[in-house]
Amino acid sequence: MDTKTIETNSVNAAAVAKAPGKAQKKTISGGAKAFLAALACLCVYGTYYYLSSPWVSTDDAYVAGHIVAVSPKVAGHIAKVLVDDNEEVRQGQVLAEIDASDYAARLQQARALVAGAKAKLNQTANDLVRYEALAAKDEISKQIRDHAQSANELAEADLAGRQAELRQAELNMSYTKIYAPQDGKVTKKSIEGGTFVNVGQVILAIVPSETWVVANFKETQLKHMRPGQNAEIKVDAYDHKLAGHVDSLQSGTGSTFSLLPPENASGNFVKVVQRVPVKIVLDNPQDAEKLVPGLSVEASVEAK
């Protein structure tokens, strides 16, 4: 075999060795083009779905509920604490008792004063009857009869005042027992036996099971939002979504009711997108009972 033939065979072998590589390169390039095309279609579809979807969402939302502060109506030392934190209570249940010794003594004193006022009124009433009979016979002057009538009226007024004091003493005595104003869970208890409490001092709070969601939507998201529309709530503490509906929209932005509302008429104006609180109520009452005020949530509303 001559040198020319060897060179020709070498060239053919190199061509055969490069051929599969070229075919493979063309196959990879075609797959990449197909993947990019599919990705572009997906992006276009996603953008269209996002822009045309009726659902609007916000993560500026939280669970709200009634929080009832409980405070005594009379001052005194706590004699008994009958509940503990996170305990379920019923409306009318006794939560704590204040030492009633002083109020019992005042109640007894008020009753004694009422009894004395009744005896005084009985005496003046009898005197008035007797003096009126004598005045009718002209045996006493009209002035004496008028004095008897004035004394009787003063005794009636004194009795009315003593009876009012008695009612107040009875109320104060009843106020030494602090009752639950409604059903719920005891929260933030701040008293123990022996603690001195003043009138109006918050000693604990009761949180009822009724809760709802307050979602602060941007003003640009409210164009088609109406009460009654479907809503979905995703609570950060749970994995599943909860169904609900829009109950109402607040008549004003959140900044309007803040401690220091903005004054756009003074200084330089910078436009800031405002947020409006939207109240969302859960459809299932049992779902509402699982939530507690303050939890963070993500709210979505089908605003169509």
In a domain, 12, yes or no: no
Q: Does residue 223 contact residue 283 with C-beta atoms inside 8 Å?
A: no
A 10 A CB-CB count for 186 gives 20
The pLDDT-based confidence of 47 (bands split at 50, 70, 90) is: low
Q: Could you tell me if 158 and 223 lie in one domain? A: no
Burial of residue 204, with CB atoms counted within 10 A of its CB: 0-12 exposed, 13-18 middle, 19 or more buried: buried
Structural domain contains residue 239: yes
Please report, rounded to a whole number, the percentage of residues in the chain having pLDDT higher than 70. 85
The parent domain of residue 132 ranges over 100-175
Q: How far apart are CA 60 and CA 214, in angstroms?
A: 9
6, part of any domain: no
Taking only the tens place, the pLDDT of each residue in 193-214 is: 999 999 999 999 999 999 999 9
Is residue 89 domain-shared with residue 150, that is, in the same domain?
no
DSSP state, 133? H
Residues 228 and 160 in one domain: no
pLDDT tier, 4 (very low <50, low <70, confident <90, very high otherwise) = very low
What is 166-232 written as a DSSP string? HHHHHHHHHHTEEE-SSSEEEES----TT-EE-TT---EEEE-S-EEEEEEEEGGG-TT--TT-EEE
* Domains in the chain, number: 3
Confidence category of residue 262, pLDDT binned at 50, 70, 90:
confident
Are residues 112 and 164 part of one domain? yes
Q: Is the pTM of this model over 0.75?
A: no
Q: What is the distance between the alpha carbons of residues 219 and 271, in angstroms, rounded to a whole number?
A: 12
What is the rounded average pLDDT of the residues 251-256? 89
- As a residue count, the chain comes to 304
Q: Is residue 275 part of a domain?
A: yes
